[in-house]
Structures are given as C-alpha cells and as structure tokens.
Amino acid sequence: MIPTAPLGRARLPVTRLGFGAAPVAGLYAPLDEEAALRTLAAAWDAGIRYFDTAPHYGVGLSEERLGRFLAGRPRASYVLSTKVGRRLVPYAGPAADVQGVDGFHGTPARERVRDYSADGVRRSLTESLERLGLDRVDVVLIHDPEGYARQALDEAYPALERLRAEGVVSSIGVGMNETALPARFVRETDVDVVLVAGRHTLLDAGAARALLPLCLARGVDVIAAGAFNSGLLADPGAPGARYDYEAAPGPLLARARRIAAVCARHGVPLPVAALAHTAAHPAVRTVLAGMRTPDEVHENTRAFTTPVPAALWRDLAEEGLLPEAAVGEE
C-alpha cells in the first residue's frame, strides 16, 4: 500500500509516489492511446492517486489522455497538478515538423509559446481544463521560468495567487530542474509547493544543499521528481542510459555503476535505493516517477514500498557514494 502525505495549505492527500504523465504523451518515442490508458489504469490499480501533467508534455497530449482516463472517477478520489508558462497554439506547417520537438513524438500539430504574463496564465489554465475535461485542478505550478524570472515573479505568480484566493486552485508553486530560482520564489512569495526535478537524487545534491532546507524552514512542501535522473539510476547498464534527458556522461555512468554494485551487495536493486533516497528528506511530500508501461508502474510501486537496510546507506557513505548534504537515510 502506498502511504499518503498532506501537500500545500489545503493539505491535499497525495500518495507518496506520484505519477508523472510525460511518458504517456510520447516522451522519447510515440505511444498509442490504448497503451497510455493501460499504463494509467495500472497506476490507479496500484493505489497511486497523485497525477502530474503539463501543457508541455506532448503539446497537450498528456492532459488530454489523463483527462480521458480520469473521466467518471470521483473528483475527490485523486489529486491533480498541471502547469502554466507554455501556451499551445496550432502549428501552421506540416505535422511531421513538430514530431520529436523537446523529445515528444506522436503529438498533435501544435507548438509551444512561452508566456508568463497574468493573461497568459489565466488562458493557459483555462485551456488545460478544457483538455482535461475538468472544472478545476488541485495544484498549479509555474513551469520552467528560467530566463523569464522577472515576469514569472511579477505577473505569473500574482495571477496564481489571485486564483488561489478565489478558490479556483488549492495550491500554487513553481516547478523546475534547477534550484536557485525556486529558492527565490520561496523567499519572495507565498508559494505552497516547489517541484524540483533531478536535483535531489543519489547523483545530485543540488537541492539538498540549500533549497530543501529553505523549504523546510518556510513550510513549503516539496514534490521531488527525476529520482532516476532520466533513467541512469534506474539501469546504468542499459545501452544509451540517459542523464537529464541526454546520453549519460562517462564519470556519472561510472559512479552510478559503483552505487549499483554496493546496492547489489545488500540485495537491494538500485531503483529501490534511488527512490528511497529522494523520498527521505523531511521536506519531500511525494516523489514523482514518469511511467510509460504497466511493467514500469509495477516495478516502481514495488521499489517504492521496499525497505532499505541502514547498512546500505553506511556503506555508500563510507565509499564516498552518497551525495553531499544527503539526509534522512540513517
């Protein structure tokens, strides 16, 4: 059974393992509708009740598929987050031209337009609700505002703050794969949550050095994504193993294999340790894992609920293989 934890000021009951819905929108390779819905059904059957999506994922395909899957299920039975900052517009050229853009395949003929204005936020959320077929979402995150920090702080955030005050959304925040700008949001605004991707893992302590302690001190909840760093910590022996969506650099590949060897001595699969490490920090309420197939759902839920012996963390620390600022494993 997957436990739950309260998220944001509305204390939303999120499962400690959440479903990241980018892969079911054709991340890395096309995925047909039937296969995507089977994966979502496997997640539901496994007890996952927190789902995260975004217009960016498959230029709306993720939201559309997730909405079709959730249709008819009691709205109070799950927690849903989406994002703002990229509006979608029809693509005027050949549909083939948009395939593979930002890593998504088999997508509709749309393109993304960055927009962190107040009007853009409202329009983006309205369009997301239409794709989802819902009248509300629970959490809205400002998505990847690097390069747009001033507009995101001055326009996007106040727009979300008003929507939260009006009761349109329950919790608001920012979602990124870096740590400095989310820390600014925590210091300068009244966000409820921060989603940080790939920066709190067995290979990267970027978030644990400053962002996670800051969130803990300010009462801002953390959604931790990218525990496998795009796949390297799931299987460092796989051909073409990725780190942060690209081919894994040699030194990181070697380090991941050393971590896997220590895990093997304790009879612990590397993904079990990777998920446990990311979940362990007291600021983290839920860990998002992207899942493409029912088998991946089963593997991740099994891994997430498998205990890790304290001796494994001690051995990793003794061999210098725990990232700096790691906490919570002992």
Q: How far apart are the first and last CA of the chain?
A: 23
| Dihedral sign (CA 74, 78, 79, 84) | negative
> Is residue 57 annotated as part of the catalytic site, yes or no?
yes
**Sequence-ordered alpha helix ranges (H) in 71-179:** 118-132, 149-151, 157-165
DSSP 3-state percent helix, strand, coil across the chain (nearest 5): 40, 20, 40
**Sequence-ordered alpha helix ranges (H) in the chain:** 33-45, 61-70, 118-132, 149-151, 157-165, 180-188, 206-209, 211-218, 250-265, 270-280, 294-304, 310-318
CB contact at 8 A, 168 and 136: yes
H or E segment to which residue 143 belongs:
strand 139-143
Token pair in block for residue 91:
């693509």
What is the rounded CA–CA span in Å between residue 252 and residue 244? 11
Selecting among 28, 50, 57, 243, the annotated active-site residue is 57
Token pair in block for residue 43:
């997640």
Token pair in block for residue 145:
């505002």
Residues serving a catalytic function are: 57
